[in-house]
Structure formats: C-alpha cells, structure tokens
Amino acid sequence: MGLRIFYHPEYYADIGEHVFPMEKYGLIVERLKSEGLVKEEEIITPYFPQDEDILLVHTRKYLEKVKNISLSYRELMILEIPLTEQVVTAFYWHVGGTISALQIALEKGVGINVGGGFHHAFPDHGEGFCLFNDIAISLKKGLEGKWFEKAIIVDCDLHQGNGNAFIFRDDERVFTLSIHQERNYPFPKMKSDLDIGLEDGTGDEEYLRLLGDALPPILDEFKPQVLFYIAGADPFKEDVLGGLRLSKGGLRRRDELVKEEATKRGIASVVTLGGGYAQRLEDTVDIHFQTIKVFLEK
C-alpha cells in the first residue's frame, strides 16, 4: 500500500464523558491492521509541529493561553471540550499528521491523516471541539514553502467549515467548498467560496448529485494542485448531532467521487477525518475505515 498513513497514539486525549469519540482514532488503526489493509510498520509517526507552525494561522496570544491552560470560561464554552495538557498535545499531533499527509500527498498523490479535519478553529479562538485548525496550518505551511501554488478544501463534514471559510476569505490561492446541513451548527456561518447548504433529511441521491455537479467544474476552472478533503462521518443517518440521511454506501460513494475527480486531474489528495458521532461508535469507525480504504485502493 505504500507509506501514506499517519497516526500517533497521542491523537487520543481523555475528555471524559463526551459526544466526541476520541477513542475512534486508535480503533480505526486497529481495524486497518486487522483487515490487512496496512501493516504495523506502514503506520507512520507524524511530524510534531513547532510553535511557528501553529502561528502560521493562530495568534500568539491564543497560543500562549492554550499552552498555559488559561482559556476563559467563555472560551472553553465555545471550544466545547475540556482543556488539559493532554488535549493540547493531542492537537499538536493532529496538526502534524495533516502536515505530514500533505508532504506525502505531494510525493505520492495521496496522504492520509487518521485524524485531523478540525475546521471550526479560528485564528484567535477554538470552536466546536477544534482547538487548532490543522487544515489551515498545513495549507499555509505549504503555500509559504512554495510546495504548491493553489489548493482547494472540500469539506464534507456535516457542519460548515466556518474556520477555514474565515481564514481563507481573501486568499485567491485557496478555494473553500463546504457541503453541510444548513440548519445545524455553526451559527452564524461564515461565507465559503461555495457553500452547499442541505435541507434536513437530505439522503444519498440528492447529496451525491449536488456534490457531483459542483466539484468537477470548480476543479477544472480553479486548477488546484492539492485537495484537502475533510471526510466527516457525521452526514450518516444515525449520527446523534446530525440531521442528514446518508447511508454508509452513500458515504463511500462520496469518498469515491472526491478521489476520482482529484485523481483523474492529477491533484494530490490530503485526507482528514473530521467529525462523526454515530449512536454506535463502531459505525463511526466503519465509515472512517471505508474512507481510508477508498483512498488506498488503486
């Protein structure tokens, strides 16, 4: 399969009884190994980012507050997860996983972070379980290093990618596409370059039609060298935070659509997992596993 998958056990942090299943990352890796998709030695330890990487996107004041575990009560309420040293370390690793996935994608066509996709984080604060914005940091690092000239973010998480929409709102080198449940978090939404706001109850057929109609012409016109994919598992019909009605098969076809459109144009794909809050944890793990399997297939 080649060395394309990045993971570290410290992606997990203990956040207590919480809807966000931090344990999913280790379970996904175990599933990948047990099904024979990857060997132990093919799971790569990511780069551990430096503070200057984080500061490509986040303000120094915010970073210092995070490192000192000194966010205000209001900031913690917006973040919606507890802040501990273990949580901070986990998010550093997630950022590094996406940076590493970008580097390998530019070399081999596909790079996979078994984590990441924390698209609600803004430069000066975290939101919605997202402490640092790994996508934006990786993208800025690549642009500053002249690793590529243009990139697209294809955000298929149930929730709009408000952090990325804000961060790249005036950057002509980055196209932000978000397909999400319209009447769901976040409120208010930021303006992406293209927002596809879905009605409650949208299922496989309509979702795939809308994404399939939108993505190819954007790729043809914008001509990015890199596609950052946020493959949220939360459009699943049994997600406790969502109101879309996609099946596992529909989500797999979504992944195949994104992969196919990128691959046939020679666009490098950086895969991150985003959210997933199914009633049964094994469903979330299964959906993420299928995403990785799709992107590992020839």
Q: What is the pLDDT of residues 27-36, one digit of tens each?
A: 999 999 999 9
Cα gap 78→76, rounded to integer Å:
5
SS3 of 207, please? Answer: helix
- Tell me the pLDDT band of 74, cut-offs 50, 70 and 90: very high
Within a 10 A sphere around the Cβ of 142, how many other Cβ atoms? 23
| Share in percent of the chain as helix, strand, coil (round to 5) | 45, 15, 40
Cα gap 33→27, rounded to integer Å:
10
Closest CA to 272 of 167, 132, 144: 132
Q: Round the average pLDDT of the chain to a whole number and report it.
A: 98
Q: For 116-162, what is each residue's pLDDT tens digit?
A: 999 999 999 999 999 999 999 999 999 999 999 999 999 999 999 99
Residue 290 to residues 138, 194, 256: CA-CA distances in angstroms? Answer: 24, 26, 10
Is 58 a residue of the active site?
no
Going 211 to 292 to 102 to 184, the CA torsion angle's sign is positive
Say if CB 135 and CB 142 are below 8 A apart: no
Taken in order of first residue, the domains within the chain and their CATH numbers are 5-296 (3.40.800.20)
For residue 290, pLDDT over 60 is answered with yes
Query: Which segments of 145-280 does DSSP mark as H helices, in order?
Result: 162-167, 204-222, 248-263
Tokens 């913690």 found at: 76
Closest CA to 176 of 201, 142, 151: 151
Q: Which two tokens stand for residue 170?
A: 């005036």
For residue 3, pLDDT over 90 is answered with no
Average pLDDT over residues 163-175: 99
Residue 4 to residues 53, 86, 126: CA-CA distances in angstroms? Answer: 21, 26, 28
AA letter at 256? E
DSSP string, 259-298: HHHHHTTT-EEEEE-----BSSHHHHHHHHHHHHHHHH--
Cα gap 241→232, rounded to integer Å:
12
Query: Which segments of 145-246 does DSSP mark as H helices, in order?
Result: 162-167, 204-222
Which one from 8, 58, 119, 120 is the annotated catalytic residue?
120
Q: For 193-223, what is each residue's pLDDT tens digit?
A: 999 999 999 999 999 999 999 999 999 999 9
- Tell me the pLDDT band of 250, cut-offs 50, 70 and 90: very high
Tokens 């990352």 found at: 25
- Tell me the pLDDT band of 298, cut-offs 50, 70 and 90: confident
For residue 2, pLDDT over 80 is answered with no
For residue 1, pLDDT over 80 is answered with no
E-strand stretches of 4-52:
5-6, 43-44
As a whole-number percent, the residues of the chain with pLDDT over 90 amount to 97
As a whole-number percent, the residues of the chain with pLDDT over 70 amount to 99
Is the pTM above the cut of 0.85?
Answer: yes
